[in-house]
Structure 1
């Protein structure tokens, strides 16, 4: 059995696409997943599964959510090793920053640097971003809500063909912890 996190994009934000966490847990258990737990109300679930890969698990959740709730939700599924690597490989000094200043945008597929070559990085300073393995790390000193760089990076032409969903650093670290081995 492998432990995964499911990252649901755009639910329970601004009153739209409401997905009660208890209903999400029940739906996931109905799909045969075990040890299902949700984290916060903004679309994270941790579960174990012995069948499928990340892509097929995400597709199954996407389909089941659409059938149950009547709207489409993009889902990315990642295992503990990946989530821990994202936290460990952060190119910014995470321990020295407030969680609201650092974010990770998870992508559904690998992203080539050329996709972001047009971004005039100096125009957004002191905000910065770096690419990793299916992730974009964003340093936004004034927070995501005030970030001009985050707004620019979210433009459809930069994310075309991808599912992209962003989490603050507290959530990045927590998901790595929740999917990790249970202490003895």
Structure 2
């Protein structure tokens, strides 16, 4: 059995795509996922299954959410290794006096080319900063996530991917949960 982490984009935000976590848990258990565990209301769902293909797991979750709740919700499925890499490879963690409240990670649906940072046209979003690492984009906002152009829509448009962003606290909490579930 394999544990996957499905990151649902855009649910329970500003009254849109409302899904109660208990209803989501039941819905996913009804299609055969086991040990379904959610973290906060913003769409972080652990599922255990024999299916080893993350894309297939994401498709099944997306399809079932549409059938059960009528919402078209993008899903990015990541492994524990993706969260481990966040702690090891995030270049901003090495900075002195770092404010982790300004650190975020965008998880993308595909592995990004090493030169994809050029496609983000970072000069258009300065003073915000970003570094690409596989299917992760480490982001350090100058002011905060609410006052930036470097958001999920911008990333998706520039890189032609599905992306979902989590703050640093959520990333570390999800890693701790993954370790407890395995």
Q: Distance in 2 between matches of 1:181 and 1:12?
A: 26
Q: Cα deviation per residue 1:23-51 (whole Å; 9 max; x = unaligned)?
A: 11111111211111110101101122222
Counterparts in 2 of 1:51 and 1:155: CA distance versus 1, 3 Å? closer
* Aligned partner of residue 59 in structure 2, secondary structure: helix
Q: Look up the match of 1:108.
A: 109
Number of equivalences: 180
Rounded to whole Å, the distance in 1 between the matches of 2:176 and 2:152 is: 31
RMSD between aligned residues = 2.3
Inter-CA distance 152–103: structure 2 relative to 1 (3 Å threshold):
closer
Tell me by how many angstroms 1:53 deviates.
Answer: 1.1
Aligned counterpart, 2:146: 145
Alpha-carbon distance between aligned partners in 2 of 1:122 and 1:182, rounded to the nearest angstrom: 41
- Asked if 2 retains the 8 angstrom alpha-carbon contact of 1:94 and 1:102, the reply is no
Q: Distance in 2 between matches of 1:53 and 1:155?
A: 24
Task: Give the TM-score normalised by the residue count of structure 2.
Answer: 0.88
Name the stretch that deviates more: 90-99 or 28-37: 90-99
TM-score, with length taken from structure 1: 0.87
In structure 2, what is the Cα distance between the partners aligned to 1:94 and 1:64? 41
> Unmatched 5+ residue regions in structure 1?
none
- 1:87-137 CA-to-partner distances (Å, cap 9, x unmatched) read 321111278533320000000001224444251438612x21000110111
2:156–2:162 contact (8 Å) kept in structure 1: no
Q: Hey, what does 1:45 align to over in structure 2?
A: 45
Q: 1:123 and 1:109 mapped to 2: Cα distance?
A: 23
Q: Deviations over 1:133-172 (max 9, x none)?
A: 1011110132111224x14971653132x11000000111
The answer to whether the 8 A contact 1:9-1:75 is kept is yes
Distance 1:27 1:139 in 2: 36
Give secondary structure in 2 for the equivalent of 1:60. Answer: helix
Q: Would the alpha carbon gap of residues 176 and 94 (structure 1) be closer, same or farther in structure 2, given more than 3 Å must change?
A: farther
Greater RCO (Cα-Cα under 8 Å, separation 6 or more): 1
Q: Is the 8 A contact 2:114 2:134 kept in 1?
A: no
Tell me how far apart the structure 2 counterparts of residues 72 and 153 of structure 1 sit (CA, whole Å).
Answer: 16
The equivalent residue for 1:121 is 123
